[in-house]
Each structure stands twice: as C-alpha cells, then as structure tokens.
Amino acid sequence: MSDLRAEAEALDARDELGGKRKEFVLDDTVYLDGNSLGALPAHVPERVADVITRQWGSLRIRSWDESGWWTAPERIGDRIAPLVGAGPGRIVVGDSTSVNVFKALVAAVRIARGGTDGPDATVGGRDEIVVDATTFPTDGYIAQSAARLTGCRLLPAAPADVPGVLGERTAAVLLNHADYRTGRLHDLPGLTAAVHAAGALAVWDLCHTAGALPVGLDEHGVDLAVGCTYKYLNGGPGSPAYLYVREGLQDRFDSPLPGWNSHAEPFGMRPDFEAAQGAPRGRVGTPDILSMLALEASLDVWDGVGVAEVRAKSLALTDFFLRCVEAYVPQGRVESLTPVAHAERGSQVALRCPGAGDVMRRLVERGVVGDYRAPDVLRFGFTPLYVSFADAERAARVLADTLD
C-alpha cells in the first residue's frame, strides 16, 4: 500500500463527518460531481412516497393545510438559513435560480432608486448594473434582461476589479461567491462593503458555496442572495432555488414578478396587488410541492452538522487531493487552477488538461465521476458530507493511470 493510501485510511478513521456517508445512496463509484448534482440521501424515497401516496393520494386538497404545503416555502427557507448564515424569516424557497436572480436584481435596482423604475428612472443618477464578467452564463443573460427592463447600462467586471468601477451611478452589483469553472472563492465581505460604500446594493449567487462553507449573509450585510439546492444541499435534480432578502430591506422589496402567492391576501382574489409582509414577498405562483418536499427531506442530513466543520473537511479534502495529483500525475500533464490560499478556495478542484472532455469520459468509465468545462478544464467537486479521503486518493490515482 502506498503512503498516500495509508494516509487516506488514517484520515478517514479520524473524520468526524465520516458517519454521514452512510446516510447517502452511494456505490463503488468515486462521486466528485456534487458541485453539479448532489447524491441522494437514503431516506428521501420513503418520504417522497408518503407525499405522493398519503398527502396527495389520500388527503388531496386537504394537504395544503394539514400537511403544511402552503407554508413550505418559508418553512424550508428557515432550514436553509443557518447554512448560509441567515436568521429566520429571511429566505423563501421556490422557482429556479434564474428566476430568483431576475427578481433580486430588478428589485435591487428599484430599491437603489428609491422605488422608481422604468427607462427614465435615474433617481440619484443610478443607471448602471455591474455584473461578474466571469459569471455562469445564465446570470449574465438575466442581468442583460434586467438592465433593459430598468433602463440601466450593464458593466461586466471581474470580481477583483469591481471596486474600481463602482460609483454614484451604480444601482446594483451581481456577483458569484465562487467561480463555477475554477472554484475560486471571491471576497464576499470586502466586495459587499465596497458596494455599500458606493451607495448600491449587492446581490450574490451562492450556488457553488451554500452547503460547502460559511457564507455569513446577515453578518456581512448582504442585501439579496440566491442559490440552487441541488448541489451541496443535495435537494435533487431541479429542486427549487431560494431567495434571501435582508431583513431591513424586506418592506422595500418590490418583485418584478408579483403573483397571487406573494399577495397579502392570496385568497382574496383582488385585482389590485398588495405585497405580503416578509419573506413571502419573494413568492410568485403555486409552489412545486413534490420537489420542494423532497428538498425538505434531504435537509435532514444536516441535523447536528455545523458548517464550520464542513468547511474544515472541504479544505482538508482538496488539499489532500492536490497532493495526490502532484504525487501521481506526471509533471506537465495537468495544471491546477485551484487557488492555493484557503481563503480563495471553494470546494472544488479544477485542473487544466488538454482533451479534458475525453479524459473525463474515460475517468467515468473507470469509476471516477467528475465533469469538465470546455475547452480544457476538469472539475472535481468535494462534498464533505459523503466524500472520503480514500475517494480523493483513488481519483488522483485513476487520473494518473488514465493520462498515462
């Protein structure tokens, strides 16, 4: 047995989160794609079966009250809140990440302008939206649409360059907490403070950090945030996203997508809209109950788990994997894009490799599942709740064999 394999066994034996692995449906595959789709928690199928057969099948319409369907968006939001450093009543679950980005960004511009909107609304001269130039494409598309709707000019900027483009005309800034290609972690506290110093609002996309590391939304004064639940939160394919609105902004949150579910009297069926109080303002239409309650069940795996210990294991796993890659892979075959500094690292390792798509296909055939991003980036996501150090060592060893 190699020294690194023996070290992996020793690290797994001391792993305080090691017992969580048995709460997921896993096999002999090394699954390092939880940054795209988290593994299935083992108890979820039974819970979903109950939703279908008893709640829907037997109780039917009564389940909106008796099974708590109606309050699910806020109830589940309160369960996600501690994982992103938010207090109760600040998060609502529903819709997709893209829809929530649109709601958050347009609402941020409206708040920055004092509640006015439209192409001629330049209150205080705030007619610019700054967007992360390295963002996931959909966020960029949504930002373009939000800019057209609000009459703003769109300014793409790399996160490190954002402070230099902020000014009196900035209304809102949309940033990713971690780069989806490289896993680079951006400075949420520092950039949020810079945005506020310019009199603008900060909107953060947490898709690649929630459930992998501390976020501190309340602590750092983030205005609005969105995120998906099917990556590190393991909510299942297409599980509903969430929207965070800082408590002090909730009475000014003016959604561009008002719906009957966000009405102060949703069953009053009044023709005029009056926004609900608090987190329900972020709702739109009827909640997607099946996937929402699957997500609620999935969140049970977080019982008794602290985000700080998840972060500690994430850093230990990625450090160990990088050591194994350095030891096993012939020099010059891959280039790590993952920041060395822990403060700049998310929970994935990105390796630049010629022919990355074909390399990943062969890795999958050999039982190591990650993914790649064109043209040449191999991505390996490390979900601390179920990825072991033995997984990390085996993945690096198989990568070396594949490249050889």
Quick one: pLDDT band at residue 18, thresholds 50, 70, 90?
Answer: very high
Let me know if residue 323 belongs to a domain. Answer: yes
Kindly name the residue from 15, 95, 139, 205 that is annotated as catalytic: 205
Residue 120 known to be catalytic: no
Residue 117 confidence (pLDDT) above 70: no
Domain-ending residue, one of 285, 302, 319? 302
Give tens-digit pLDDT for 76-99: 999 999 999 999 999 999 999 999
122 and 23 part of one domain:
no
- 102 classed as catalytic: no
Looking at 249, 280, 302, the residue that finishes a domain is: 302
Q: What domain count does the chain have?
A: 2
Can you give the CATH number for the domain in which 310 is found? Answer: 3.90.1150.10
Establish if 42 belongs to a structural domain.
no
The pLDDT tens digits of the residues spanning 131-186 come to 999 999 999 999 999 999 999 999 999 999 999 999 999 999 999 999 999 999 99
Q: Does residue 174 form part of some domain? A: yes
Residue 125: pLDDT band (50, 70, 90) is: confident
Is residue 155 domain-shared with residue 253, that is, in the same domain?
Answer: yes
Q: Per the domain annotation, does 17 fall within a domain?
A: yes
Rounded to an integer, the average pLDDT of 318-345 is: 97
Q: Are 255 and 315 in the same domain?
A: no
Domain interval for residue 267: 48-302
Q: Are residues 120 and 218 in the same domain?
A: yes
pLDDT-based confidence at residue 2 (cuts at 50, 70, 90): confident
Per-residue pLDDT at 118: 45
Give me the mean pLDDT over the 277-281 stretch.
93
Q: Is residue 40 part of a domain?
A: no
Q: Are residues 12 and 59 in the same domain?
A: no
| Of 103, 184, 231, 283, catalytic | 231
- State the average pLDDT for the chain: 96
Of the residues 24, 102, 180, 230, which is catalytic?
230
* Domain containing residue 96: CATH number: 3.40.640.10
- Catalytic residue (one of 103, 126, 345, 379): 379
Residues 282 and 356 in one domain: no
Residue 267 is among the residues annotated as catalytic for this protein: no
Q: What is the pLDDT of residue 124?
A: 56
Q: Is 328 assigned a catalytic role?
A: no
Look at residue 122 and tell me whether its pLDDT is greater than 80: no
Give the residue from 302, 330, 363 where a domain finishes. Answer: 302
* Residue 43, in any domain of the structure: no
Q: Which position among 24, 31, 136, 320 bears the catalytic label? A: 136
**The pLDDT of residue 1:** 55
Q: Are residues 292 and 337 in the same domain?
A: no
- Write down the pLDDT at residue 404: 86
State mean pLDDT over 107-128.
75
Task: Tell me the percentage of the chain whose pLDDT exceeds 70.
Answer: 98
pLDDT at 69 over 90: yes
Residues 290 and 314 in one domain: no
CB 154 within 8 A of CB 143: yes
Q: Is the pLDDT of residue 341 over 50?
A: yes
- What is the arithmetic mean of pLDDT over 343-357? 97
Q: Are residues 281 and 254 in the same domain?
A: yes
Q: Is the pLDDT of residue 240 over 80?
A: yes
Please indicate, yes or no, whether residues 173 and 118 belong to a single structural domain of this protein.
yes
Residue 136 annotated as catalytic = yes
Same structural domain for residues 168 and 273? Answer: yes
Classify residue 36: in a domain, yes or no: no
Residues 265 and 368 placed together within one structural domain of the fold: no
Which carries the bigger pLDDT value, residue 77 or residue 2?
A: 77
The band of 62, judged by pLDDT with boundaries at 50, 70 and 90, is very high
Residue 37 lies in a domain: no
d(CA 213, CA 8): 22
Three-state SS string over the chain comes to CCHHHHHHHHHHHHCCCHHHHHHECCCCCEECECCCCCCCECCHHHHHHHHHHHHHHHHHHHHHHHCCCCCHHHHHHHHHHHHHCCCCCCEEECCCHHHHHHHHHHHHHHHHCCCCCCCCCCHHHCCEEEEECCCCHHHHHHHHHHHHHHCCEEEEECHHHHHHHCCCCEEEEEEECECCCCCEECCHHHHHHHHHHCCCEEEEECCCCCCCCCCCCCCCCCCEEEECCCCCCCCCCCCCCEEEECHHHHHHCCCCCCCHHHECCCCCCCCCCCECCCHHHHCCCCCCHHHHHHHHHHHHHHCCCCHHHHHHHHHHHHHHHHHHHHHHCCCCCCEECCCCCHHHECCEEEEECCCHHHHHHHHHHCCEECEEECCCEEEEECCCCCCCHHHHHHHHHHHHHHHC
Give the angle subtended at the CA of 273 by the CAs of 87 and 75, to the nearest 5°: 25
